[in-house]
Structure 1
Amino acid sequence: MMNQKEQRLGWFQRIEQMHPYETLLYLGMFGSGLIFLFLTVAFLASGVNQLEGYNRHIPFSFLASTFLLVLSGYYATKMRLYYQEERLDKLQSALFTTLILGAVFTLLQFLGWKELSLMGIDFKGIPSGSFLYVLSGIHIFHLLGAMIFALILLAQLNRNQKDEVKSLMLVVNPFEKMRIRLFTVYWRFMDAIWLILFLLFVISF
């Protein structure tokens, strides 16, 4: 059985073997996680029960967008399977579906803000209401980065599908495999963050 020193060395060796992109992504996810953690603590400290009553309810757009984001996470997970099976057409389709669902999710978030405004919840009102905008807005900002990367991947897949040699190189290239894996990891991370935020929003109402 490995002792603690050997375990620490094992972790350091894994970090050293990571590709720089992989290291940056995990560091970014860690930093983002801290941001959401601090804001969530501030949200809870602001008094979430202030939103109770007054005939207010969780915006329907938030509910619909949550379902779509979970569905997009399913398609993002399928991407890795399609890549391993060398089914580039299915991979491209899953990536496109993930991107579209992400775009609709973003649109629904803006509609959710409008619903909040109609209920009288805005930046000028109670602090906990302001945090609904801040937390969901920062989440959208993080998700947009993944959507831009998805567009780049989609354009590359579309070009490579027209060339059999490039398609073969794409399938056997470890770098491409890593990029797809990192995309799916980050997208599911954003899924998890939003599910936690949505649960807090539901509790606050």
Structure 2
Amino acid sequence: MRKKLAALALALVAVVTVSAQTKTVKASESKITWKGYKVTGSHEGTIDLKSGTLKFDGDKLTGGEFVVDMTTIGATDLEGDMKGKLDGHLKSADFFGTDTYKTAKLVITKVKSTGKNSYKVTGNLTIKKTTEPITFDMSVYGSKATATLKVDRSKYDVRYGSGSFFDGLGDKTIYDEFDLVVDLQF
């Protein structure tokens, strides 16, 4: 009887171990787009994913971790000198300081199913060595995952043009929140 129970327990452990998986995100096939807003309009662009993993229990998302290459941030709505100026400014200490802070990181800490293939995800987002919690919706279909995040840059010491820190900016005000749309392939 003991041998049968031990074999059954071992089989259960094997089933549990097999159902928990970590899947590597294909960084070169994934895409992150951003959009920032100001009083007089907006700008948008891309940032490259450096690496990432998603954790599953069976087909249910349970966690993940991502590293973004901040040195690749760039505008896609401008060309020529204007693009070069904005890209350089975004990489400068006024914004993301990519000479010092080359990467940003997101670690998923909690996942709650909100429907078939849909999740409410909470994680810790680190930008410029500052870590803050963030919550967003994520959908997973087959080998693809999508998420849309609203990030408050002022929480990460990205203050340039922020009406939260500077008075009298008028139409030069840049809003604190920016959007990230993430399309992952794994």
Q: Tell me the TM-score range normalised by the shorter chain.
A: under 0.3
Question: Scaled by the length of structure 2, what TM-score is found?
Answer: 0.23
Relative to total residues, which structure has the larger helix share, 1 or 2?
1
Higher relative contact order (CA 8 A, sep 6+): 1
Give the number of the structure whose residues are more often strand, by fraction.
2
TM-score (norm 1): 0.22
